[in-house]
Amino acid sequence: MNSSKLAIIGILLFLLAVLTFNAFFIVGQTEQALVLRFGKPVNIINAPGAEDGPGLKFKMPFVDSVEMFDKRVLVFNGEPMTVILKDKDRLIVDAFVTYRIKNPLQFYQAVRSERIMSMRLESILEKSLRDVLGRETLKTLLSDKRVLIMHDIRDNVFRLASGKAVAGEKVEAPIPEEAIETEDLPEELVKTVSKEGFGIEVVDVRIMRTDLPKETGDAIYNRMRSDRQKVAEKYRAEGQRESQIIRSEADKQRTIMLAEAKKQAETIRGEGDGAATKIFAEAFGKDEDFFDFYRTMQAYRESLDKDDTTLILSPNNEFLKYIERNR
């Protein structure tokens, strides 16, 4: 075998390899493929409603091209945007949208790629946030109504992404009618193609974070601080009033209790003095000398109780009668 035959065989093998490489492609479990022949769709693989599943697939070499799309839930993170609320306050909102490509053909004809879809979603998300939040105040957003507001934002994104009108607005179909080429597709796939929407299914819309611009935040915080101070002063004044009422009532009860106690003490003391007087009178009546002696001894004890007591009396003074008697 000469060198020319080897060269021909090599070229043939190379062409066969290139032909084989261009004739087969692999569709993974998480992918869906759109097969185009000279730019016209001829088959959809591993998409909802498609008969072909994932695996090794054949296409016409150099004639057919394949567009791959992710079958999983995709996430679009929008850029933080400033929204003007109903009360003229500004709010920085950071939100995201989760979606999946439901119809690869419709998606391809409407936006071609995920990058352009992200641009469309950013516009839709911004419009929905401005329309819904622009009707609300900051106080409302901080109340329990925020759940309903979030539902309104999500519904707006759903409708705009599906090409339906929102609040009476006319939304133009993103796919021109003449651009929908379905003549080479199976009938069951033709039924899924619509001239409205982007061929996606919006799963959810969430707000990750909300914040206030610095200048707006300072003004709102000062206003909130002033409102809280007014409430605190009101509560403090009410507390002082209640304190005065309680203190006055306590003082009143204390005065009444002391008066009652003093009255009872005077009554008991009077009764005791009366009883003592009666006892002294009875004792005096029984033995006058002993009673005189007892009272004189009490007078000595009270008068001469201290060591430095000095009394200057006449020797015949009646007060010293018992002392003189015992000398």
pLDDT tens digits, 73-93: 999 998 898 888 888 888 889
Does a structural domain hold residue 277?
yes
Does a structural domain hold residue 218?
no
Regions in the chain scoring below 50 on pLDDT: 166-180, 188, 190-191, 193
DSSP string, 287-303: -HHHHHHHHHHHHHHHH
pLDDT for residue 217 = 63
On whether both 6 and 35 belong to a single domain, the answer is yes
Does a structural domain hold residue 6?
yes
Does a structural domain hold residue 224?
no
**Token pair for 211:** 């914040």
Whole-model pTM: value is 0.57
Which of 181, 15, 18, 206 has its CA nearest to residue 99? 206
On whether both 63 and 13 belong to a single domain, the answer is yes
pLDDT for residue 41 = 86
With beta carbons less than 8 A apart as the criterion, state whether 41 and 184 touch.
Answer: yes
Q: Which domain holds residue 278?
A: 233-286
Tell me the CA distances in angstroms from 171 to 77, 104, 192, one per residue in order.
Answer: 23, 22, 20
- The domain boundary, picked from 21, 54, 70, lies at 70
On whether both 301 and 322 belong to a single domain, the answer is yes
Identify the residue whose tokens are 């004189």: 296
8-state DSSP, 113: S
With beta carbons less than 8 A apart as the criterion, state whether 19 and 61 touch.
Answer: yes
- The domain boundary, picked from 27, 45, 70, lies at 70
pLDDT for residue 100 = 92
On whether both 112 and 184 belong to a single domain, the answer is yes
- The domain boundary, picked from 212, 245, 260, lies at 212
On whether both 325 and 297 belong to a single domain, the answer is yes
pLDDT for residue 63 = 86
Tell me the CA distances in angstroms from 49 to 34, 45, 192, one per residue in order.
Answer: 13, 9, 8
On whether both 79 and 199 belong to a single domain, the answer is yes
pLDDT for residue 168 = 42
Does a structural domain hold residue 248?
yes
Does a structural domain hold residue 222?
no
On whether both 203 and 243 belong to a single domain, the answer is no
Angle of CA points 84, 85, 91, to nearest 5°: 60
On whether both 162 and 195 belong to a single domain, the answer is yes
**Token pair for 85:** 């609320």
8-state DSSP, 73: P
On whether both 160 and 120 belong to a single domain, the answer is yes
pLDDT for residue 242 = 92
DSSP string, 173-223: -SS-GGG---TTS-HHHHTT--SSS-SEEEEEEEEEEEE--HHHHHHHHHH
On whether both 181 and 254 belong to a single domain, the answer is no
CATH code of 185's domain: 3.30.479.30
Phi, psi of 190 (to 5 degrees): -65, -35
pLDDT for residue 178 = 46
On whether both 106 and 202 belong to a single domain, the answer is yes
Domain count, the chain: 4
Please name every residue paired with 66 in a beta bridge, in sequence order, or none if there are none: 35
- Separation between Cα atoms, residue 97 and residue 158, nearest integer Å: 10
pLDDT for residue 182 = 52
On whether both 193 and 143 belong to a single domain, the answer is yes
Q: Which amino acid is at 256?
A: I
Residue 155: HSE in the Cβ half-sphere, 13 Å Cα cutoff: 11
266: Cβ contacts below 8 Å, ≥ 6 apart: none
